[in-house]
Structure 1
Amino acid sequence: MFKNLKNDIPASIVVFFVALPLCLGIALASGAPLFSGLIAGIVGGIVVGILSGSQIGVSGPAAGLAAIVLTAITALGGWENFLVAVVLGGAIQLLFGVLRLGIIGYYFPSSVIKGMLTGIGIIIILKQIPYFFGIDKNPEGDFAFLQIDGENTLTELLKTLNALFSGNFDKGAAIIALIAIGILILWSAVLSKKGKIFQLIQGPLVAVVAGIVYYFVTRDTGLMLTQEHLVSVPVPESISDLKAQLSFPNFEAITRTDVIITAFTIALVASLETLLCVEATDKLDPQKRVTPTNRELLAQGTGNMISGLVGGLPITQVIVRSSANIQSGGKSKASAIIHGFFLLISVVTIPQILNYIPLSVLAAILFIVGYKLAKPSTFKKMYSLGWKQFVPFIITILGIVFIDLLWGIGLGLLVGIVVILIKSYQNSHFLHIEDKSNGKHKIKMTLAEEVTFFNKGAILKELDSLPRDTQLEFDVRKTRYLDNDIVEILDDFAFKAKERNIDIKLISERGIIENPESFIEFFQLRPKTA
């Protein structure tokens, strides 16, 4: 784990600067205490990072759970009651890991996973545009289309465009954002290739330092940044004040039905989001390592129990932080763990300095992360793979951008299933028609290896369209599974074939049968898998 510190430490710094505002923003969007987001980020980095089998995944509070948290805090009668549900949710995730349910993530099509990554990249860019120009000062609803403040992604963009055209935007925020993105591009395209010093000291760190310097240089000028354009970390005055920021579960509510239902909801959604992020980060990993998913559920469950016990939000593995880690050169889990310690140390020792970081600089960093996730070349590649890959890919993206993460994934999966059904419908049989001979058409129908009730319509259509006076060869030698629904269709057809003067020759591994009286009897006598 410590062999790649020269790569992992710079990557952890980048992840730290990405995670810090997200922890605060997700806490705000969830209607939870701001400190709860930082607690979840610290636990996700240190505890989950140590226990997880993922080498490049980073865990913390997730935007996908914000709506659930917001509703549950009110429904359960307070924050302390909700923390009980978080602890129980973690225990349920431990049970999921013991039952080896981590395999669920592998049943999502690659096109949906790639759509999820691209959609998140697009939503990151769209959501950061207002921050880039210092227009939207609140981070509510970071990754959902609809925001708590009544706005949505499109209305925020329209407000930004109107402000740009009218000149009613924060010029100081825009200037330092442009400087920051210039630093990032220069560092990535030029300086990183010039020497080891530029690889050790990463562009995002330089951009953040430049942002802090800019804040002090422009104070008391027309380009100064006000507090609403800066990171806002709670600043404890003493150790006792820091301890007062912690909250603890009210375990008297542990037997309540609504608390238990909320716990199951948290466990299911957090586990699904984690497994999908694991699948996505494994695809992004340059070394193509495979994360043990059951171990990941155990790690996430432990993290959620600890987070809930000390007043933190629910935790999942998070694709934004994970992708930032990968793109910044992170090689092992050390980067995730170190970022967690950075969060802890900074909150305890230098919260005031963190509050000098401009939000527009962090927006510039996230712009680069978003672009790398949603490169135009990805769209071109998916389009070249054909509609069966491209349609679920696009639907997933649209769902994420215009609804939210889980809806986008669900819609993409639904379209993927429909595509499978269409292809199953088309591939149930192969029909070969020969020229007319001896007054009869000679037609050969070969069934696929597996034929289910999904194929009823296709086979029935072909049989009903056969002309009178046909000689039909029905080949089932390759078929290993034949649904009873299909057998019934064939049996009915055998009866109607006599009226239409259709001769049937059934070819199986047991030989050839001319005009079988009953397909049901024949297939009942066959071994099920032979």
Structure 2
Amino acid sequence: MFKINMKKKSIFSTWKNDLPASLVVYLVALPLCLGVAFASTDVDGVDGMPNIFSGIIAGFVGGIVVGALSGSRLGVSGPAAGLITIVAGALATLGSFEGLILAVFLSGLIQLIAGYLKLGVIGHYFPSSVIKGMLAAIGLTLILKEIPHILGYDKEPMGDMDINHADGHNTFSDILYAYEHFTMGAVIIGILSLGILILFERPFMKRIALFKYLPGALFVVVTGIVINQLFGWYAPELQLTGEHLVLLPIAKSFDEVIHIFNTPDFSLLSNPNVYIIAFTLAIVGSLESLLSVEATDKLDPMKNVTPTNRELKAQGVGNMVSGLIGGLPITQVIVRSSANINSGAKSKLSAITHGVILIISVLLIPGVLNMIPLASLGAILLMVGYKLAKVSLFKSMYKLGWEQFLPFIVTIGVVLATDLLKGIGAGMIVAIFFILRKNYKNDYNRKVIQEGEKEVIHISLSEEVTFLNKGSIIQTLDNLPENSKVVLDGSKCQDINYDVLEAIEEFRQFNAIQKNIELSTINIPVVKLTGH
């Protein structure tokens, strides 16, 4: 079913690179897992307690299970912000968390079948300009989302990537509120955290042996905890508490640990809404995973090509496992994947290890995790966003011309205004427009040849002539001058669409005669007109 190739190079051969990277991915994943869980499952009328850990469960399953089975070298999977709206709607519709995780299990089964049907090839049909626009849009969204957390305005969960909120606010208004209601302790920790991260990007830091293996993100978190404790001792008015820190429920007994994990309610298999939600999760989750796979492969310094059908199978098994033990739906996630790549990971060991660290730390040291200021984590995520949306990316895309830049910038704009999939769709429409425009222009070659005293208009058709070329060919034929001699040459054609052949035959039998045009054809089949 799955083959993990260990012959070429063991994943453990690069552990010196992968273990430090896994710590960074863990620190990025922790607030996102919790934030996605809170944003997804805060639904009136549904018991919230089983849902709090659902993001963590999805995170470690995405790391360990999907990480092991996927063919992606550096991709990291976990709960996705793009599915928040669907999950919240599913909970409201089904009325129970057990119904939701049943739908998650079934969505995984659908993805597994899709992988065996080789539907993963869809991922290869997204233009590079749209993929890069998606990356930049996610980067900009992260930057905008984390500014309030660095300023100490922590009203929204860190994993909520929606620009517009249910309360009528949006990300931009949150930034304004943050400036008006900032928390000085958070500002100090946030600025210091950004300074540490920038320092760790300097070349001289990479030459120091200690810092080759201890990532800057780890120092940011430790520094944030220490400074906040010092605030408590020497400047209590600056100390961060409550919503300004990670808020992870602490299991106080073995029974409470067991209660973290939940099983689906299979009695709901008779509910048709379960299947509708499962198909929705499978389709949207698969698209997000395939898009992230394409984006991750582009960011990968080694330009690894991930087998997309295997990815669908891995995501399918991951969602089945996550649903069976009480986790949210899983996709490959570009925020975690890009953090993994930027941290120097070399193999899937990093993704797997981050999943192990995630579940162990949540079960064994939740009290320590609850000391981490959100401002520190916000700084880490803001730097991830900056690396996805560097100014140099915009400059390079602009230099490629409008055919590349316009789909890129439209994707960014629509993602920021609405959501990820709508932005991808808008970018695709613009990219397809340029394809159609080029196809319209390049369907034939026209030149005038002198034969004795008479000029001959020679029109040579391209190799592939589809129905998309029909309009320009009809227009060209209609504009031919009266009393001219015309040669229509199909010698280069591999295929000519019937619609085009019909248009040519109509011109031969009607317009050419009316305009006294002497028309001859080469290697163009004659078709019988219908309805004449």
TM-score w.r.t. the length of structure 2 is: 0.92
Which structure 2 residues correspond to residues 299-338 of structure 1 after superposition, within 5 A? 299-338=314-353
- Work out the CA distance in 1 between the residues paired with 2:239 and 2:386: 29
Is the counterpart of residue 117 in structure 1 residue 135 in structure 2?
A: yes
**TM-fit CA distance, 1:473:** 1.7
Does the CA contact (< 8 Å) of 1:105 and 1:276 recur in 2? yes
- Work out the CA distance in 1 between the residues paired with 2:385 and 2:169: 22
**TM-fit CA distance, 1:434:** 5.1
**TM-fit CA distance, 1:159:** 2.3
Is the counterpart of residue 10 in structure 1 residue 28 in structure 2?
A: no
SS in 1 for 2:485: strand
Q: Which deviations, in whole Å up to 9, do the C-alpha atoms of 1:464-509 show, x marking residues without a partner?
A: 1111121112111001111111111111111221221211132339
**TM-fit CA distance, 1:436:** 10
Indicate the residue corresponding to 2:59 in structure 1: 41
SS in 2 for 1:290: coil
Indicate the residue corresponding to 2:32 in structure 1: 22
SS in 2 for 1:197: helix
Indicate the residue corresponding to 1:178 in structure 2: 191
Q: Cα 1:393–1:500, aligned 2, differ >3 Å: closer, same or farther?
A: same
Indicate the residue corresponding to 2:465 in structure 1: 451
- Work out the CA distance in 1 between the residues paired with 2:477 and 2:308: 46
Indicate the residue corresponding to 2:45 in structure 1: none
Indicate the residue corresponding to 1:490 in structure 2: 504
Is the counterpart of residue 375 in structure 1 residue 390 in structure 2?
A: yes
- Work out the CA distance in 1 between the residues paired with 2:450 and 2:391: 50
Is the counterpart of residue 212 in structure 1 residue 225 in structure 2?
A: yes
Is the counterpart of residue 237 in structure 1 residue 237 in structure 2?
A: no
Indicate the residue corresponding to 1:145 in structure 2: 163
Runs of 4+ with >6 A deviation? none
Does the CA contact (< 8 Å) of 1:172 and 1:223 recur in 2? yes
Output the amino acid matched with 1:103.
V
Output the amino acid matched with 2:29.
A
| Residues 20-29 or 133-142, more deviating | 133-142
Which structure 2 residues correspond to residues 249-268 of structure 1 after superposition, within 5 A? 249-268=264-283
Indicate the residue corresponding to 1:72 in structure 2: 90
SS in 1 for 2:13: coil
Indicate the residue corresponding to 2:101 in structure 1: 83
Q: Which deviations, in whole Å up to 9, do the C-alpha atoms of 1:312-334 show, x marking residues without a partner?
A: 10000100000000001111111
Q: Which deviations, in whole Å up to 9, do the C-alpha atoms of 1:270-324 show, x marking residues without a partner?
A: 1111111111101111111111211111111111111111111000010000000
TM-score w.r.t. the length of structure 1 is: 0.93
**TM-fit CA distance, 1:222:** 2.1
- Work out the CA distance in 2 between the residues paired with 1:141 and 1:131: 12
SS in 1 for 2:458: strand
**TM-fit CA distance, 1:194:** 2.7
**TM-fit CA distance, 1:25:** 0.5
- Work out the CA distance in 2 between the residues paired with 1:153 and 1:443: 60
**TM-fit CA distance, 1:358:** 0.7
**TM-fit CA distance, 1:117:** 0.9
Indicate the residue corresponding to 1:525 in structure 2: none
**TM-fit CA distance, 1:16:** 0.5
Is the counterpart of residue 282 in structure 1 residue 297 in structure 2?
A: yes
Is the counterpart of residue 463 in structure 1 residue 477 in structure 2?
A: yes
Q: Which deviations, in whole Å up to 9, do the C-alpha atoms of 1:397-432 show, x marking residues without a partner?
A: 112111111111111112222221111111111122
Q: Cα 1:283–1:71, aligned 2, differ >3 Å: closer, same or farther?
A: same
- Work out the CA distance in 2 between the residues paired with 1:412 and 1:473: 40
Give ranges in structure 2 of 5+ residues lacking alignment. 1-10, 43-50
Match of 1:193 among 191, 201, 206: 206
Does the CA contact (< 8 Å) of 1:475 and 1:508 recur in 2? yes
| Residues 368-377 or 136-145, more deviating | 136-145
Match of 1:420 among 432, 435, 448: 435
- Work out the CA distance in 2 between the residues paired with 1:328 and 1:343: 17
- Work out the CA distance in 1 between the residues paired with 2:101 and 2:441: 51
Indicate the residue corresponding to 1:202 in structure 2: 215
| Residues 460-469 or 219-228, more deviating | 219-228
Does the CA contact (< 8 Å) of 1:143 and 1:405 recur in 2? no
Structure 1 vs Structure 2 CA RMSD: 1.7
| Residues 15-24 or 461-470, more deviating | 461-470
- Work out the CA distance in 2 between the residues paired with 1:246 and 1:84: 13
Indicate the residue corresponding to 2:526 in structure 1: 519
Match of 2:123 among 105, 109, 132: 105
- Work out the CA distance in 1 between the residues paired with 2:464 and 2:313: 37
SS in 2 for 1:442: strand
Which structure 2 residues correspond to residues 290-301 of structure 1 after superposition, within 5 A? 290-301=305-316
**TM-fit CA distance, 1:375:** 0.9
Does the CA contact (< 8 Å) of 1:277 and 1:318 recur in 2? yes
Is the counterpart of residue 31 in structure 1 residue 41 in structure 2?
A: yes
Match of 2:173 among 129, 140, 155: 155
Does the CA contact (< 8 Å) of 2:465 and 2:497 recur in 1? yes
Which structure 2 residues correspond to residues 501-512 of structure 1 after superposition, within 5 A? 501-508=516-523
Indicate the residue corresponding to 2:71 in structure 1: 53
- Work out the CA distance in 2 between the residues paired with 1:76 and 1:436: 78
SS in 1 for 2:445: strand
- Work out the CA distance in 2 between the residues paired with 1:343 and 1:149: 32
- Work out the CA distance in 2 between the residues paired with 1:97 and 1:124: 31
Aligned residues: 508
Indicate the residue corresponding to 2:416 in structure 1: 401
**TM-fit CA distance, 1:49:** 1.1
Match of 2:368 among 353, 357, 371: 353
- Work out the CA distance in 1 between the residues paired with 2:184 and 2:312: 46
Q: Which deviations, in whole Å up to 9, do the C-alpha atoms of 1:96-151 show, x marking residues without a partner?
A: 11111111100111111111111111111111111110113321772222123432
**TM-fit CA distance, 1:170:** 0.5
Does the CA contact (< 8 Å) of 2:148 and 2:175 recur in 1? yes
**TM-fit CA distance, 1:77:** 2.1
Output the amino acid matched with 1:384.
K
Indicate the residue corresponding to 1:526 in structure 2: none
Does the CA contact (< 8 Å) of 2:315 and 2:330 recur in 1? yes
**TM-fit CA distance, 1:160:** 3.0
SS in 1 for 2:459: strand
Match of 1:63 among 81, 84, 88: 81
- Work out the CA distance in 1 between the residues paired with 2:18 and 2:206: 18
**TM-fit CA distance, 1:442:** 2.6
